[in-house]
Each structure stands twice: as structure tokens, then as C-alpha cells.
Amino acid sequence: MRSDFLALSAMAFAGFFATAVQAEDWWYSIYYADSNGGFQFLDSDDSNVVTNKQPSVDYVDSLSDKGLRWKFLSGTNNDGYIATQAHQDHIVGYDSGDNEYHADFKKSNDDSAVMAHFINDQQVTLCFDNNCIGAGAKKTEESFAWNVTQIQGV
């Protein structure tokens, strides 16, 4: 009976540990509802930050596109840098020009890093100073509220 208890305890501990480790594998979709009833998801395409029209968060979660998966490097509900799963050793930064936002800035180049500012646990703004990522991933001087939903990494 003692060996059954030890085996059961070991399995419970292993299950708890696996759950804790698995939680670290979560990423997030960042999106907004467009005027046509669809959704525009923040995406990294060849390191450029763009939007990508998709039908739902569940559909994005089913894809293997690492550019559609984002991580808040300071954790959720904490202001900080963001990175895509495709460029997880880098951060999103601002560079004036045609493609202003890029997902391949070195972490040491934080003087132009885009910061995530949480409005609540389901919405975030993404800005470098007064240069915010707005609809269509275009620069705007006004904060733009993006929806945030947890999805799995690939």
C-alpha cells in the first residue's frame, strides 16, 4: 500500500510539473475585428510587422505560422517588449521608413523597442514613444487597442 501511495504521489507531482512547464509554451495572438466582420492578426512576414486576415483565433492556433505567435517578454499584464515565435531571440522595434515596425531588432537595441502596454488582461497597445502600431500595422500617433488571446506555440 505504501508503494501505491508513493507511485501515486510521484505521478501527481509529474503531472503538476508537466502542467507548469507546458504553461510556459503559451504564446498569444494579437488582433482586432475589422469592419468586414473578419479579424486582422498581427504577423511577422520576413521580419516586417504586418496584419494578416484570418477567420478566428482558433484557426490561427491551428496553423504552424510562428510569425502569428507573440510573447510578452515581461509576462502578461506587465508592460514590456514583445517578440514573435519566429524571431524569439529578438524584439519588435520601430524604424522610420516604408516598413516601420520590424520583429528582428536585437534585444540590445532597446532604444527603439516597441513596448506592450496592457489596458487590461485582454487588450494591449503597442508603441514606441508616440509611434504606435495601429490598424493594418500602420503607424499612428494614437494608442490602438489590440485584443490578446492565449494560443499554443509550434
Spatial contact of 57 and 145, defined as CB atoms under 8 Å apart:
no
| pLDDT at residue number 110 | 84
| pLDDT at residue number 12 | 47
C-alpha to C-alpha distance for 23 and 36, rounded to whole angstroms: 34
- Residues 57-84 have pLDDT tens digits of 999 999 999 999 999 999 988 999 999 9
Domains contained in the chain, number: 1
| pLDDT at residue number 5 | 45
CATH number reported for the structural domain that contains residue 64 in this entry: 2.80.10.50
Average pLDDT, integer, range 117-134: 96
What is the average pLDDT value for the chain, to the nearest integer?
Answer: 87
Q: Classify residue 17: in a domain, yes or no.
A: no
Q: Classify residue 14: in a domain, yes or no.
A: no
Q: Classify residue 41: in a domain, yes or no.
A: yes
Q: pLDDT above 70 covers what percent of the chain?
A: 83
C-alpha to C-alpha distance for 132 and 148, rounded to whole angstroms: 16
C-alpha to C-alpha distance for 136 and 43, rounded to whole angstroms: 10
Q: Classify residue 115: in a domain, yes or no.
A: yes
Average pLDDT, integer, range 89-100: 88
pLDDT band at 25 (very low <50, low <70, confident <90, very high): low
| pLDDT at residue number 21 | 39
For the record, the C-alpha cell of 56 comes out as: 478566428
Q: Classify residue 127: in a domain, yes or no.
A: yes
Q: Classify residue 12: in a domain, yes or no.
A: no
pLDDT at 17 over 60: no
Structural domain of residue 47, as residue ranges?
26-152
pLDDT band at 109 (very low <50, low <70, confident <90, very high): confident
Burial of 2 (C-beta count, 10 Å sphere; 0-12/13-18/19+): exposed
In 3-state terms, what secondary structure has residue 24? coil
